[in-house]
Amino acid sequence: MTWLDLPADHPFGIHNLPYGVFSTHGTQRRVGVRVGDHVLDVAACAEQAGMESGAVWRAGSLNPFLAQGRAAWTAAREWLTEQLTNEAHRECVEAHLVPVAEVTMHLPIEVADYVDFYASEHHATNVGRMFRPDSEPLTPNWKHLPIGYHGRSGTVVVSGTDIVRPCGQRKPPTEPVPVFGPSARLDIEAELGFVIGGATTLGAPVALADAGEHLFGVVILNDWSARDLQAWEYVPLGPFLGKSFATSISPWVVTMDALGAARVPLPGQDPEPLPYLRGEPTADGASTASGLDISLEVEWNGTVVARPQFRDMYWSPAQMLAHMTVNGATLRDGDLFGSGTISGAEKDTRGSFLELSWSGAERVTLADGSQRTFLEDGDTVVLTAVAPGPDGSVIGLGECVGRVLPAR
């Protein structure tokens, strides 16, 4: 099917074609498409092929491409597939394939607004039990709307960026007043992030059925969390400094077009949501509110400590998008929303150390025999994810890596 010499199960095969922003040896940042163990320099390839779209590919972020909207995204994917499968283009394309070992990857988007949802019932239930032990774990609104809040766009960083342990206020239960210092409960949240394009105008909600016009693609997202800062600050207006020090995303944006075979029904919503959040059958037999069968792995200093499954999420990405705009809020090119921590019913599918250690009460043992509750300085967390592609192929989302540096 392609003249590229790739094993059928390569995570970056011909059915994937994720977009990122790369540079080589200090050259200008530009758009690349991952193919096997190479990055296609799209601008160079397009220009040699006589296309006039060079400026979009020479940009230092995907935002100009995101602005072009759904029809352009579809056309670009068709063009790329043609370039990589038709032997006639081989010579031209091969001239612009850069080995992945030679590139530096950058933040793929200029993040406009960043919203983080809370769409896993298991995660919300676990957190509710720990943070609010005297109440029902799920708040009364939880099954009626995908709860979300805005995060700090300016501290979204690309995978590989070191994470400095944040300082802040926390109030240990044994102390009468808060103390200041480095967070003692530094945690991760294993999530997926959804990248938006096709900006809208103020006052015009996006209907659930039209979410696909704006959902461009998916990244792996680590919503680093300082649980002690968060617990002290979050009532009544929500998380702030406990989250705003850093959010890491993987460099490759896997398009929704590459995830057609990964669509799955949601686990089930009861009560049925209000009409604007209700999925309807699509022409191809799926639903406008499909889930995604994406499997994550959480690696802590090299030991896989959890395998969160995105198919366990209660709310779908399209539902989150429809909810986010139902009040007329605009979408901008480069908006990003996180799913919230992905946790399932089983302990080994929990996507945060808060849950894996049950708020520090249980230890997680790593391969070297060391034990952990929360993150220690020098620890490295690697999140990876894969999804089923067409014809038994695999769609890889790559990895999202971060290492913890001591507080300054």
Q: Which residues bind a copy of itself (CB under 8 A)?
A: 112-113, 115, 118, 128, 131-132, 139-141, 144-145, 147-155, 157, 161, 164, 166-169, 171, 177-178, 180, 202-205, 226, 229, 232-242, 244-246, 271, 274-276, 323-324, 326-332, 335, 408
Nearer to a copy of itself, 36 or 166 (CB): 166
Query: At its nearest, how many Å lie between a copy of itself and the CB of residue 164?
Result: 4
Phi, psi of 302 (to 5 degrees): 95, -10
Cβ neighbours of residue 52 closer than 8 Å, sequence gap 6 or more: none
Q: How far is CA 328 from CA 119, 144, 200, 202, 218, in A?
A: 21, 19, 9, 6, 24
CB of 169 to a copy of itself, least distance (A): 6
- Residue 326 Cβ vs a copy of itself, minimum distance, rounded to whole Å: 6
Nearer to a copy of itself, 3 or 276 (CB): 276
Q: How far is the CB of 131 from a copy of itself (least distance, A)?
A: 7
Of 150 and 347, nearer to a copy of itself (C-beta) is 150
Pairing of strands 114-117, 336-338: parallel
Contact 206, 325 (CB under 8 A): yes
The active-site residue out of 106, 122, 123, 214 is 123
Backbone angles phi and psi of 152, in degrees to 5: -95, 110
Of 112 and 304, which CB lies nearer to a copy of itself in the complex structure?
Answer: 112
Q: Do residues 34 and 252 lie in contact, with contact meaning Cβ atoms separated by under 8 Å?
A: yes
Which is nearest to 73 in space by CA: 158, 195, 202?
195
Min CB(224)–a copy of itself separation in Å: 10
* CB closer to a copy of itself, 95 vs 204: 204
10 is catalytic: no
Strand order in the sheet with 19-23: 97-99, 38-41, 30-35, 19-23, 104-106
The C-alpha atoms of residue 379 and residue 402 are separated, in whole angstroms, by 8
Write down the H helix ranges in 266-352: 317-325
Active-site amino acid positions? 123
